[in-house]
Amino acid sequence: MAKPHIDPVRWQPPGSRPLPPPDPTPALRIVEIPGTAPEDVVAAADGSIWTGVEDGRIVAVGPDGTAPRVVTDTGGRPLGLAFTGDHRLLICDSHRGLLRYDPQTGRLETLVSEVAGQALTFCSNAVESADGTIYFTESTNRFHYEHYKGSVIEARGSGSLLRRDPDGAVSVLADGLHFANGVTLTTDESAVVFAESTGRRLSKYWLTGPHRGSITPLVEELPGHPDNISTGTDGRIWVAMVSDRNALSDWLSPRAPVLRRLLWRLLPYRLLPDPTPVVWVVAFDADDGRVLAQFRTEHPDFGLATGVVESDGRLWMGRIAGSGLAYFELHES
């Protein structure tokens, strides 16, 4: 695919503060599934694990990682997933927008395809609150998933946090975000927690209390790039850290835009700055951002973790740029 035009801006990336030493990481189990790049993982009510792969299919595996089956096909590129209170599946699709799939009827419907007259180009992750309100992110309004590096090279804040009310009305809660990504609710639904991958931070959009309608930081200056996130069984915020910070990207972002235009135009897409494969997940306290757990390792058959979910004593991970899911037993840590 031909690379789209980019319009870089000068931007100073955030600093970086080290995290505490990681915990011992239990043995990683790899689960083969049909398809590549299962970007996010979610747990259904029956304990099965669902994911979306690069060719548009939604795949489910049993709680023990066996019996993979294709559930449906979006015809696009599914990214973040979330189950609703009535057990339907929200699907963020880079090409089709925010979708909803009903496993009982097999119906796949489009909930949001555009915002304020502009098509969603990189719907990234979603979560539904108890009253049926859906909070979702758009990583960038300028590029599809296939050209996500364009957003990194541009260094332009073009992501958003959005809300879809039960009546279908859509509003923008925050824009100008640096690659808005994972989104989840705190256990008491007092706030929406969302990640900015290139912004290297987690923030809270308050739904109740004295800060209602405002955004406050939860964790800033992360030493890597947070991707999809989820709320654990004890209220902790699990974060899939896709990679360490990229020194070349950090160096380029404040430099003259003309330099990045030349790199984008002259270099093949595969030679532009890439994340470095690592298996890395962190759990943060939802109130004060303290690190509650951290697992970091390398594995020859798995890396670039982009999705994480806790289910039945296991921590499951999705990925980009490769095949298979992975999990480990939390009680072994």
Q: What's the DSSP call for residue 236?
A: -
- Give mean pLDDT, residues 153-181: 98
Task: Say what the pTM is.
Answer: 0.97
Q: pLDDT band for 92, please (50, 70, 90 cuts).
A: very high
- Segment holding 101, helix H or strand E: strand 97-101
Paired sense of beta strands 108-112 and 114-115, if any: unpaired
Residue 1's pLDDT band (cuts 50, 70, 90): confident
Predicted pLDDT of residue 332: 72
If you average pLDDT over every residue of the chain, what do you get? 97
Which is it for strands 237-244 and 215-219: parallel, antiparallel or unpaired? Answer: unpaired
User: Which residues is 61 bridged to in the sheet?
Assistant: 49
The whole-number pLDDT of residue 333 equals: 58
Of all residues in the chain, the percent with pLDDT exceeding 70 is 100
* 224-279 confidence digits (pLDDT tens): 999 999 999 999 999 999 999 999 999 999 999 999 999 999 999 999 998 889 99
The length of the chain in residues reads 333
- Average pLDDT for 280-299: 98
